[in-house]
Amino acid sequence: MAKAGLVFGTVGTPLSTPKNPGGTVGGIRRAAEMGLGALELAWVQSVRVSEGKCAEIKATGAAHHIALSVHAPYFINLNAGAEEWPRSRKRLMDAAHYGYLAGATDIIFHPGSYFGGPPQAALEQALPRLRQCVADLRAAGNPVTLRPETMGKSAMLGSLEDTLSMAQEIDGVLPCIDFAHLHARPGDGSVNTYAEWVALLKRVKKTLGARGLKQLHIHLSGIEYGPKGEKHHLPLAESDLKYKDLFRALSEVGAGGRVLCESPKMEEDARLMQKTYAAAVKKAAQRAKP
């Protein structure tokens, strides 16, 4: 039986990965050594990996029980102009093709920009393109889930509503919920309380069903922000993000899936998240006892 609850890891190989074997294979081994359960391959500049290396990554992930995902290149825009779109599409499809070969089940990507237009117009452009990507992957026998990420700036396609719309409209698409981005996006310090997070998770459940809460893919870090949203990621301890309340909310709703840490402290903060969540689960269980 699959383990319930959340597993933790980093986006990119842990900082403490030894030089030999370094890279993703070393990173998977290091993650397992530290008691982490997931790793996201940070193919954020480009997808440059051989099929042989993918097979090695897949075998290492399976041997160490590390759940793998891929962060696709930053330069993807579902709302790109007609000339740019084929290049954007290729980056996403390459990430999905090689990611699947490497044993990844989920492909995370930044959905793009509104280009100053209304969100609805961006979505009308984005949805058929994304639907076709999934159809092409399935035709090629590739079962990966595509995960548009919630973005930290209000000018970017990727509000919670945007990503939920994509997930609702297209089988094979689910959101990657970056809670730090959702906190930074309004730019006023909101989306940082237990009540707001419970409400947000209830919205996810309402849109995707109870199952949606059991297969969450979460990105998390501390975050610096201004009126327009995200500036940069921070270590948890140096930010105002009330992560303890977030993990209380996640444990209360019985969330399952993965949490990938994007703090500059990488595995140190991933383990802090893991510990915080374990404590929250324990407390919730105590409260549930008669």
Residue with the closest Cβ to Zn ion? 149
- β-bridge partners, 70: 41, 107
Strand ranges for the chain from DSSP E: 6-11, 38-42, 67-71, 106-109, 112-113, 145-148, 156-157, 177-178, 216-220, 222-226, 229-234, 257-261
Give the nearer residue to Zn ion in terms of CB position, either 229 or 251.
229
- C-beta of 21: minimal distance to Zn ion in Å? 26
- C-beta of 149: minimal distance to Zn ion in Å? 5
- In angstroms, rounded to a whole number, what is the distance separating the alpha carbons of residues 147 and 170? 11
Q: Would you give the end-to-end CA distance of the chain in angstroms?
A: 27
Give the nearer residue to Zn ion in terms of CB position, either 166 or 281.
166
For residue 121, give the amino acid letter. Answer: A
Give the nearer residue to Zn ion in terms of CB position, either 248 or 265.
265
Give the nearer residue to Zn ion in terms of CB position, either 149 or 269.
149
Give the nearer residue to Zn ion in terms of CB position, either 149 or 230.
149
- C-beta of 211: minimal distance to Zn ion in Å? 24
- Taken in order 233, 106, 76, 125, the sign of the CA dihedral is negative
Question: Looking only at residues 137 through 156 of this chain, which bind Zn ion when binding is defined by CB under 5 A?
Answer: 149
Query: Exposed, middle or buried by CB within 10 Å (0-12, 13-18, 19+), for 193?
Result: middle
* Close Cβ partners of 180 (under 8 Å, ≥ 6 residues apart): 152, 219, 220, 221, 222, 223, 230, 233, 239, 241, 262
- C-beta of 44: minimal distance to Zn ion in Å? 7
- C-beta of 151: minimal distance to Zn ion in Å? 8
Instruction: Say if residues 10 and 270 touch (Cβ distance below 8 Å).
Output: yes
- Give the interface size with Zn ion as a residue count (CB under 5 A): 1
Give the nearer residue to Zn ion in terms of CB position, either 11 or 253.
11
Helix (H, G, I), strand (E, B) or coil at 35: coil
- C-beta of 262: minimal distance to Zn ion in Å? 7
Using CB under 5 A, list all residues that contact Zn ion.
Answer: 149
